[in-house]
Amino acid sequence: MCHITYVTHHGAWFRLQCCVAMCLLAASRPLDAAETAAVPDLPLEEILVSGDYPGPGLWRVSKPDDGEHVMWIFGALGAEPTALRWKSRQVENIVMESQEIIHADQSNLSFDFGMFTMLRYMPAALRARKNPGDRTLGEVLPGGVYARWRVLKAEYIGSDAGIEKWRPLMVADQLRKKAERKLAPKFSGNQWAPINQLIQRRKLRVTTPIFEVKIPDENLRSSMQSFLASPLNDVECLDVTMKLVEFWSDDETIGARAMAWARGDLPALRALRPSPDPADLCMAALLNSQAVRDLHLREIDDVPARRNQLWLEAVDRALAANRSTLAILPIDELLKEDGKLALLRAKGYRVEGPI
């Protein structure tokens, strides 16, 4: 099985896992004065280690006519600085009372093939990393985007000349992985370890709604040839991935968000820019490619809505079966006016909090 998965885990970073050889078929703005006024002029470590914090409150979800079944939603920060110290007794207590954990929904692009098939198509798949006609990034990217790429390439990748002919989608994946590796000490805290251990010790059911798009194996050859010849609409995928890497490097913004999150100060979090999320853009670049469109797959239409539906179905089942459920979503998702909380209200659920 070869797959591309876009996932936001609690306490983890945005991850794009890509089996490059075959799966290809299938300016960070500065904070303004209002945002920086409350940020102390101190190193990140001195801002964050001044005490242990509980993190934000939780949202309580229930049916209006059912007081026995409840789902709690915790908003995870995502990129947690190593210096941040938080310990939520509230989350631990809810884990102790719950029967199920629901994670954020994911997207998966996959198809099955044997090892010999993979080896046979490997040379063509490696060529698929490159832009059609061997066009360079300097020719494909707008001037401002390319200038930022050159800065980030020097910082995280180095003098690799070959990558200049790669598709922006593949460049985005490589840049993210290199930046993640270099910045790992900055985000190497593991505040979730006690909670994860508690989940494992209690053997709770863990649900991750996954929306999967399967590429028919019989279309492998034609898809490969079409992909080699077709450009992708993937410039925005690279642009937002670069914004994410720039975001990770911005101590001032990371520190301000971490403190607001740890103190449960949602107005302050709303005033700060959210973490850039290239996941849907990068997936769309693949699903909207001519090679995939030629397969006439119904499931590639309106992927965000289909993912939301899967998550809501998991919530429906959990609230019907469990006395207590804990859902973990990115805090930025919970701050959206049209995000998951709005979907729950639209279905008739009572949403209270954060408590």
Q: What is the pLDDT of residues 187-211, one digit of tens each?
A: 876 778 888 899 999 999 999 999 8
Tokens of 344: 């729950």
- How far apart are alpha carbons 1 and 210 in whole angstroms? 15
Q: Label residues 226-252 b or e (16+ Cβ within 10 Å = b).
A: bbbeeebebbbbbbbbbbbbbbbbbeb
Collapsing DSSP to helix, strand or coil, 211 comes out as strand
Q: Label residues 16-25 b or e (16+ Cβ within 10 Å = b).
A: bebeebbbbb
Would you state the pLDDT for residue 129?
84
- On the question of pLDDT at 125 being above 80, the answer is no
Compute CA distances 93 → 136, 164, 209, 326, whole Å: 54, 51, 24, 11
Q: Which amino acid is at 272?
A: L
Q: How many CB atoms lie within 10 A of CB 189?
A: 16
What average pLDDT does this structure show over 98-108?
Answer: 92
What would the DSSP string read from start to end of 142-167?
-HHHHHHHHHHHHHHT-S-SGGGGB-
Name the strands in the sheet holding 14-18, side by side, starting at the edge strand that comes first in the sequence. 14-18, 2-8, 106-111, 210-214
Q: How many helices (H) and strands (E) does the chain have?
A: 18, 10
- Percent of the chain whose pLDDT exceeds 70: 74
Tokens of 19: 């089996």
Q: What is the pLDDT of residues 27-58, one digit of tens each?
A: 233 323 223 333 334 455 554 545 567 778 89
Would you state the pLDDT for residue 21?
33
- How far apart are alpha carbons 98 and 330 in whole angstroms? 20
Tokens of 281: 């853009």
Would you state the pLDDT for residue 34?
29
* Mean pLDDT of the residues in the chain: 80
Helices 235-249 and 279-287 pack at an angle, to 10 degrees, of 160
Question: What's the number of CA atoms in the CB half-sphere (13 Å) around residue 32?
Answer: 4
- On the question of pLDDT at 11 being above 50, the answer is no
Compute CA distances 275 → 60, 78, 140, 188, 272, whole Å: 24, 9, 26, 18, 9
- On the question of pLDDT at 176 being above 80, the answer is yes
Compute CA distances 21 → 92, 128, 212, 241, whole Å: 42, 8, 19, 21
Compute CA distances 14 → 57, 321, 324, 330, whole Å: 23, 31, 28, 10
What would the DSSP string read from start to end of 98-123?
-SEEEPPPEEEEEE---HHHHHHHHH
Q: Residues with Cβ < 8 Å from 203, sequence gap 6 or more?
A: none
Helices 235-249 and 168-183 pack at an angle, to 10 degrees, of 10
Tokens of 119: 């080896």
Q: What is the pLDDT of residues 301-317, one digit of tens each?
A: 778 888 999 999 999 99
Q: What is the pLDDT of residues 47-87, one digit of tens each?
A: 454 556 777 889 999 999 987 999 999 999 988 888 887 77
The 8-class DSSP code of residue 299 comes to G
The residue to which tokens 């989608």 are assigned: 169
> Phi and psi at residue 13, in whole multiples of 5°?
-95, 165
Question: What's the whole-model pTM score?
Answer: 0.81
